[in-house]
């Protein structure tokens, strides 16, 4: 039996869609800066990229506060429980209409694999993008009345790490877009992130032995 549950709060949805736009815009302007194509023009792309980066960092600060003030950070604590069943579901089960091995609830929105992936994003890859991006933006800085800067070898390493992080983020977006189509219908998960409501299955009741 299914019931309609308000599972994604207003700020959560705002954060999700704003982050999605900023990540895609940062990727678009970033690759233009790298010379992959021309759309805004190099100088404008740099300005827009930096503005989006600052907006992204502000969003991160507010979202960290929201996660810890609401307790939502607990959603991202990794677990190995049911992880084998989850892997088998993604590899084989969902193509055979097998039941999902982990039931989503208001208190546990993510399956074991999602927890690991989102945890890595939040504590490894997004910080990598932010730190390398800030270093790249401010590689020249005032020091003792003069202008100092990161040496070219160090700057090349920073740029390479930032680009690696960008490819990882793009890979995540592609996989994420695919997986949102694997709900009850193609648009079930998308609709839930727009309205906040999702139809969840009740946990099966265990019979007493």
**How far is 156 from 140, CA to CA, in rounded Å?**
14
pTM reported for the whole predicted model: 0.85
Q: For all residues of the chain together, what is the average pLDDT?
A: 87
Q: Are 49 and 26 in contact (CB under 8 A)?
A: yes
Sign (positive or negative) of CA dihedral 54, 60, 153, 33: negative
Tokens describing residue 205: 């009741």
Helix (H) or strand (E) holding 199: strand 197-201
Sign (positive or negative) of CA dihedral 99, 107, 185, 122: negative
Residue 3: predicted pLDDT: 82
Q: Tell the CATH topology of 2-201.
A: Fumarate Reductase Cytochrome B subunit (1.20.950)
**How far is 26 from 33, CA to CA, in rounded Å?**
10
**How far is 126 from 60, CA to CA, in rounded Å?**
9
**How far is 129 from 27, CA to CA, in rounded Å?**
11
Query: Which residue, 63, 50, 74, is CA-closest to 18?
Result: 63
Residue 65: predicted pLDDT: 97
Residue 153: predicted pLDDT: 67
Along the 209 residues of the chain, how does pLDDT read in single tens digits? 678 889 999 999 999 999 999 999 999 999 999 899 999 999 999 999 999 999 999 999 999 999 999 999 999 999 999 999 999 998 898 888 888 888 888 888 999 999 999 999 999 999 999 999 998 887 765 555 555 566 656 678 888 899 999 999 999 999 999 988 887 788 888 999 999 998 887 655 544 44
What are the strands, taking DSSP E only, across the chain? 2-6, 140-143, 146-149, 197-201
């Amino acid at each position: 039996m299914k019931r309609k549950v308000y599972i994604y709060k207003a700020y959560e949805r705002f954060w999700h869609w704003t982050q999605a736009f900023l990540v895609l815009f940062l990727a678009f302007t970033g690759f233009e800066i790298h010379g992959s194509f021309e759309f805004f023009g190099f100088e404008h792309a740099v300005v827009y990229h930096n503005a989006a980066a600052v907006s992204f960092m502000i969003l991160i600060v507010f979202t960290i506060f929201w996660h810890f003030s609401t307790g939502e950070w607990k959603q991202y604590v990794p677990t190995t429980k049911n992880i084998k069943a989850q892997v088998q579901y993604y590899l084989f089960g969902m193509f055979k209409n097998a039941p999902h091995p982990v039931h989503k609830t208001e208190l546990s929105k993510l399956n074991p694999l999602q927890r690991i992936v989102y945890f890595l994003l939040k504590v490894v890859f997004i910080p990598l993008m932010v730190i390398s991006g800030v270093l790249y933006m401010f590689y020249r800085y005032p020091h003792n009345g003069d202008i100092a800067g990161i040496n070219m070898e160090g700057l090349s390493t920073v740029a390479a790490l930032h680009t690696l992080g960008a490819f990882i983020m793009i890979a995540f977006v592609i996989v994420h877009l695919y997986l949102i189509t694997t709900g009850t219908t193609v648009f079930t998960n998308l609709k839930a992130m727009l309205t906040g409501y999702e139809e969840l299955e009740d946990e099966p009741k265990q019979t007493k032995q």
